[in-house]
Amino acid sequence: MLDIIILAAGKGTRMKSQLPKVLHTIGGKPLLEHVISSAKPLTDSPIYSLIGHEANKVKEVISNKSQYILQEQQLGTGHAVQQALPYFRDDSIVLILYGDVPLIKTDTLKRLIACVDNKSLGLLTVKLDNPMGYGRIVRDDQQKVTAIVEQKDASQEQLVITEVNTGIMAVNSAHLKQWLPLLSNDNAQSEYYLTDIIEMAQKQGVEISTEHPEYNWEVLGVNDRRQQAELERIYQHNLAQQLLLDGVTLLDPSRFDCRGQITTGNDVVIDVNCIFKGKVTLGNNVTIGANCVIENTTIASGTTVKDNSILEDAQVGECCTIGPFARLRPGTQLSDNAKIGNFVETKKAIIGEGSKVNHLSYVGDATLGNQVNIGAGTITCNYDGVNKHQTTIEDEVFVGSNTALVAPVTLSKGSTIGAGSTINKSVEEHTLSLTRSPQKSHKNWQRPVKK
Ligand code: UD1
Ligand code: CA
Which DSSP string do the residues of 65-118 spell out, in sequence order?
Answer: T-EEEE-SS---HHHHHHHHGGGS-TTPEEEEEETT-TT--HHHHHHHHTT-BT
Report yes or no on 302 lying in a domain: yes
Task: Give the residue from 219, 246, 275 where a domain finishes.
Answer: 219
**Residue 446 is assigned to a structural domain of this protein:** no
| Residue 352 domain-assigned (yes or no) | yes
Query: Do 268 and 360 fall into the same domain?
Result: yes
Residues facing 287 on adjacent strands: 269, 304
Does the reported pTM lie above 0.85? yes
DSSP notation for 116-131:
-BTTEEEEEEEE-S--
Last residue of a domain, one of 200, 219, 238: 219
Judge if 133 and 10 occupy the same domain.
yes
Distances (CA, A) of 39 to 4, 26, 98: 8, 17, 11
12 C-beta closer than 6 A to ligand 1? no
The residue range of the domain holding 428 is 225-433
Q: How far is the CA of 10 from the centre of ligand 2 (A)?
A: 9
- Statement to judge: residues 142 and 24 lie in one domain: yes
Q: Let me know whether 249 and 212 are in one domain.
A: no
Q: Is 306 found in the same domain as 198?
A: no
Any ligand 1 atom below 6 A from CB of 166: yes
The reply to whether 208 and 298 lie within a common domain is no
CATH of the domain at 126: 3.90.550.10
Ligand (nearest to CA of 165): 1
N-term to C-term CA, the chain:
95
Domain count, the chain: 2
Give the ligand whose atoms come closest to the C-alpha of residue 189: 1
Ligand nearest to the CA of 223: 2
Question: How high is the pLDDT of residue 118?
Answer: 85
Question: Helix (H, G, I), strand (E, B), or coil: what is residue 430?
Answer: coil
Specify the pLDDT at position 287. Answer: 98
Q: Do 167 and 239 share a domain, yes or no?
A: no
Alpha carbons 68 and 53: distance in angstroms, whole number: 13
Residues 294 and 161 in one domain: no
Rounded to an integer, what distance in angstroms lies between the CA atom of residue 264 and that of residue 252? 17
Residue 176 confidence (pLDDT): 97
Q: What is the DSSP letter of 24?
A: S
Same domain, 234 and 210: no
Q: Is the C-beta atom of 80 inside 6 A of ligand 1?
A: yes
- Ligand 1 near 99 CB (within 6 A): yes
Q: What's the CA-to-centroid distance between 134 and ligand 1, angstroms?
A: 9
Burial class (CB in 10 A: 0-12, 13-18, 19+), 361: buried
The catalytic residue positions are: 359
Is residue 91 one of the residues assigned to a domain? yes
pLDDT, residue 231, reads 98
Per-residue pLDDT of the chain (451 residues; tens, 9 = 90+): 999 999 999 889 999 999 999 999 999 999 999 999 999 999 999 999 999 999 999 999 999 999 999 999 999 999 999 999 999 999 999 999 999 999 999 999 999 999 998 899 999 999 999 999 899 999 999 999 999 999 999 999 999 999 999 999 999 999 999 999 999 999 999 999 999 999 999 999 999 999 999 999 999 999 999 999 999 999 999 999 999 999 999 999 999 999 999 999 999 999 999 999 999 999 999 999 999 999 999 999 999 999 999 999 999 999 999 999 999 999 999 999 999 999 999 999 999 999 999 999 999 999 999 999 999 999 999 999 999 999 999 999 999 999 999 999 999 999 999 999 999 999 999 999 999 999 999 999 999 999 9
Within-domain flag for 442: no
Report which ligand 1 atom has the smallest distance to the Cα of 148.
Answer: 11
My answer on whether 200 and 316 are in the same domain is no
* Residue 443 lies inside a defined structural domain of this protein: no
Residues 333 and 368 in one domain: yes
Report whether residue 75 contacts ligand 1, using a CB cutoff of 6 Å.
Answer: yes
Whether residues 201 and 257 share a domain: the answer is no
pLDDT reported for residue 117: 87
Which residue from 77, 125, 132 has its CB within 8 A of the most atoms of ligand 1, so it is best to mutate? 77
Taking the C-alpha atoms of residue 407 and residue 389, their distance in angstroms, rounded to an integer, is: 5
**Residue 379 falls inside a structural domain:** yes
The CATH number assigned to the domain holding 370 equals: 2.160.10.10
* Domain end residue (candidates: 219, 251, 276): 219
Contacts of 321 (CB under 8 A, 6+ apart): 303, 304, 306, 339, 340, 341
Q: Is residue 252 in a domain?
A: yes
